[in-house]
C-alpha cells in the first residue's frame, strides 16, 4: 500500500466529513446540498452558502504530533509512515523506544540521517504479529520510494504485554529496530 495516495483520499474524506458535520449544525431554511462525491453537486446558488474548501495539502498538517499510542500496531506504523512522508523528523524519531533513544541516535543525528530523503513515499507490506517472553512484536516489510531511489527493509514494532508494573512507555507500540537505511 502506498502512503501518499491513501493520505490524499483520507484528506478528501476528512474534508467532506467535516463539511457535512459543519453544515448539519446550521439552522437554515434552505436545504443543505447532498454530497455526491463530485464537484458538480454544488450549484452556483448553493455555493454561496457553502464555506470555501479547506486546503488538503499534507503540508498544512501540524508538525509536532506526539507518537500514536494506539493499541493497533498497523495504525501506529501508518502514523509513523505519515511522519516520515511529511519529513517530520522529531515525530518520526519519537516512535522509537525511549522516545527516540533506542534508535541509537540523538535527534540531531536522526535528522541528519533521515533528512537526506527528498520526497519520501512509503510502500507498506503485510505485517506479522507474534509474542515472545512477555512482549509482542509486529514485523512489516517497507520500501521507501524517494524519487528514483528505492530503499527496501523492514520495521519491527514492540510493546510489553499488559503486565503489572509496566510503564506507559513500555506498553505503547514503538519501533524496536529497522533495516531501513535512508
Q: What is the pLDDT of residues 100-121, one digit of tens each?
A: 999 999 999 999 999 999 999 9
Cell (9 digits) for 89: 523528523
CA distances for 178 relative to 43, 57, 130, angstroms: 51, 29, 17
Confidence at 64, pLDDT banded by 50, 70, 90: very low
Confidence at 130, pLDDT banded by 50, 70, 90: very high
Confidence at 128, pLDDT banded by 50, 70, 90: very high
| pLDDT at res. 113 | 96
Site of grid cell 458535520: 21
| pLDDT at res. 163 | 87
Give the C-alpha separation, 87 to 82, whole Å.
8
Domain ranges of the chain: 3-47, 63-178
| pLDDT at res. 3 | 64
Look at phi and psi of residue 2 and say left if phi exceeds 0, alpha if psi is from -120 to 50, else beta: beta
Fold of 63-178: Nuclear Transport Factor 2; Chain: A, (3.10.450)
β-sheet bridge partners, residue 154: 141
How do 149-160 and 174-178 pair as beta strands?
antiparallel
Residues 6+ apart with CB under 8 A from 139: 127, 128, 130, 154, 155, 156, 157
Mean pLDDT score across all residues of the chain: 76
Give the C-alpha separation, 160 to 174, whole Å.
10
| pLDDT at res. 93 | 96
Q: What is the mean pLDDT of residues 81-96?
A: 96
Amino acid at each position: 500500500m502506498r502512503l501518499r495516495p491513501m493520505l490524499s483520499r483520507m484528506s478528501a474524506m476528512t474534508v467532506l466529513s467535516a463539511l457535512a458535520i459543519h453544515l448539519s449544525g446550521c439552522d437554515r431554511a434552505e436545504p443543505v446540498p447532498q454530497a455526491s462525491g463530485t464537484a458538480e453537486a454544488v450549484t452556483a446558488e448553493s455555493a454561496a452558502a457553502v464555506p470555501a474548501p479547506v486546503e488538503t495539502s499534507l503540508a498544512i498538517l501540524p508538525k509536532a504530533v506526539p507518537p500514536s499510542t494506539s493499541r493497533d500496531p498497523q495504525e501506529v506504523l501508518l502514523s509513523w509512515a505519515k511522519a516520515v512522508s511529511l519529513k517530520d523528523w522529531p515525530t518520526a524519531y519519537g516512535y522509537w523506544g525511549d522516545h527516540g533513544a533506542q534508535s541509537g541516535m540523538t535527534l540531531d543525528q536522526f535528522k541528519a540521517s533521515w533528512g537526506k530523503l527528498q520526497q519520501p513515499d512509503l510502500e507498506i507490506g503485510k505485517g506479522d504479529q507474534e509474542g515472545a517472553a512477555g512482549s509482542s512484536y509486529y514485523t512489516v516489510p517497507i520500501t521507501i520510494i524517494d524519487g528514483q531511489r528505492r530503499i527496501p527493509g523492514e520495521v519491527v514494532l514492540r510493546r510489553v504485554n499488559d503486565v503489572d508494573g509496566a510503564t506507559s512507555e513500555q506498553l505503547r507500540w514503538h519501533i524496536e529496530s529497522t533495516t531501513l537505511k535512508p
